[in-house]
Amino acid sequence: MEEYTLLGSKPTRHGFGEALVVLGERNENVVVLGGDITGSVMTSLFKDKFPDRFFSIGIAEQNATTIAAGLALSGKVPFFASYGAFCALRNADQIRISCCYNEANVKIGGGHAGISVGPDGATHQVLEEVAFLRTLPHMTMLVPCDYLEAKKATIAMGEMVGPAYIRFGRSPVPLYTTDATPFEIGKAHVLREGNDVALIACGALVWECLLAAQELAKKGIQARVINNPSIKPFDVETTVTAARECGAIVTAEEHQVHGGLGGAVAEVTAKNSPVPIEFVGVKDSFGGSGDPDELMIKFGLTWKEIYASALKAIERRDKGSVGFRRVKDVEQYNG
């Protein structure tokens, strides 16, 4: 069974910024728009390398999104990046109509996402944008798990055609994927095999799932850990297979429990293979100011909550009807 090794830590925003430079070198039509926080979201790297292809729009997210749509419809490949709280929600109408309705090739980087922004506080800790963006027709929505996957995801969204959004964070997070780790828009990947319970996560919570799986293994419970960076398009097959083979699921995300990754998993399994699901995320609350690690503990976004949720999901499965049992258990029941 493959065990992932901690290779250090690095913010996912660095992967985003470095990928912009790679895209700029590959395609002269790539341009970047900034909103007075280029250093924070690492668009400064592109600005330094390609100053003639960088445009500072100021603190005007609606304007920046509309300008990006115009550039896209003129043949450019525009990236606009700001804090996710502002570039995903303050400009919701512009994303919906100017970008998605027109199928404009606009790429948006939502930085400082989740509770781990830390001292910036609740107004800057966007916890709702995944739920909103995944409902928009034509939108691609990505939530990478570490620095290297953020770099791969940014390059992939820059080379695809159509509106896309990537969510990344401010604080360093564990780095454990490598150049050989696969990434593909629309695909989830099993990082750890197991048939007792499936732990499905995105972003910083993927590593917490790996930690939870190690603890569960001490009790003889083998958890399947699935990294699901592509919220939309969604990998239905991998999730349904996990539901059928494990019979119990825990979802984990640095987002509200309503409407995000957990909502997507629930929709897919309800239609194809209903099983008990437990949801780890922020419970209908705004964030707060504090140390990122302390906030993750305060809001219940660590391996301990995932571990406890896994035990609960397994208990619900084992006490439930045949319809909630794994494929192998049903075979034994019928045999």
Quote the CA–CA distance of 150 and 165 in Å, as a whole number: 12
**Catalytic site positions:** 61
Residue 244 contacts residue 273 (beta carbons within 8 Å): yes
DSSP state of 6: P
Q: Give the DSSP letter string of 200-239.
A: EE-TTHHHHHHHHHHHHHTTT--EEEEE--EEES--HHHH
Question: Which amino acid, residue 121?
Answer: G
Strand partners, 54: 32
- Estimate the share of the chain in helix, then strand, then coil, as percent rounded to the nearest 5: 45, 20, 35
| Positive or negative: CA dihedral 235, 240, 242, 245 | negative
Q: Characterize the bridge pairing of strands 230-232 and 189-192.
A: unpaired
- C-alpha torsion 84→89→94→100, nearest 10: 80
Residue 116 contacts residue 170 (beta carbons within 8 Å): yes
DSSP state of 99: I
Residues in contact with 278: Cβ distance below 8 Å, sequence separation at least 6, in sequence order: 249, 250, 251, 309, 310, 312, 313
Q: Please return the burial class of 58, using the count of CB atoms within 10 Å of its CB with bins 0-12, 13-18 and 19+.
A: exposed
